[in-house]
Amino acid sequence: MQINVRPAVRDELKCVNAIRRQVNDVHVGGRPDIFCPGFTDELRDRVYEQFDSGAYEILVALADGRIAGFAVTTVVDKPRSPYNNARRFYRVDEFGVDESFRRKGVATALVAYMKTAAKEKGLDKIELDMWEFNKGALAFYEAAGFTTYRRYMEMDI
């Protein structure tokens, strides 16, 4: 299977949203106490707003000509503060692979593209966050070379 990654065009965002819906369903299933069921108009429209803003780049992975995965990315500039040094990095806000294309190299191709894009932008880090319940995503990200440097924790009371 041939996999190509490139920036999306606006007409492809409907297909991106079909995958975003699958990702949302995974989140609802994993943490129904946090995530709302259903794929609302607000969720649907979010990717269009990001695309139109110019602050985000929506990437698509095409497998044999079909959109099989996506990533929503941006460059983050964090100024120096009393607590932290200034940092500039490539941020992955959303990431997903269509259920029918999982474990076929789509996610790996997206990460490879993002690494190249980050280097071309003069960045030396890619950051993302993920939900702990999503063990499949965690296994992939670790295999791809991501490491945990910060953790959010909770306690039920």
Q: Give the relative orientation of helices 135-144 and 106-120 as an angle to the nearest 10 degrees.
A: 50
Mapping DSSP to helix (H, G, I), strand (E, B) and coil, where does residue 71 land? strand
Give me the pLDDT at residue 36, please. Answer: 92
Residues 31-83: tens digit of each pLDDT: 999 999 999 999 999 999 999 999 999 999 999 889 999 999 999 999 999 99
CA atoms of 63 and 5, how far apart (whole Å)? 9
d(CA 19, CA 110) in angstroms, rounded, equals: 14
User: Please, which residues have CB within 8 angstroms of residue 7's CB and are 6 or more apart in sequence?
Assistant: 57, 58, 59, 60
CA 50, 91, 116, 109 dihedral sign is: negative
pLDDT score of 143 more than 90 = yes
The single-letter code of the amino acid at 36 is C
The pLDDT, as a whole number, for residue 64 is 87
Task: Fill in the DSSP letter of residue 67.
Answer: E
Domain 3-144 carries which CATH code? 3.40.630.30
* 79-132 confidence digits (pLDDT tens): 999 999 999 999 999 999 999 999 999 999 999 999 999 999 999 999 999 999
Query: What does the domain layout of the chain look like in residue ranges?
Result: 3-144
- The answer, yes or no, to whether residue 146 has pLDDT greater than 90, is yes
Mean pLDDT, residues 2-12: 96
Angle at 89 between CA 83 and CA 95, to 5 degrees: 120
Sorting pLDDT into bands at 50, 70 and 90, what band is 145?
very high
Q: Which of 39, 38, 27 is nearest to 134 (CA)?
A: 27
Confidence of residue 1 (pLDDT cuts 50, 70, 90): confident
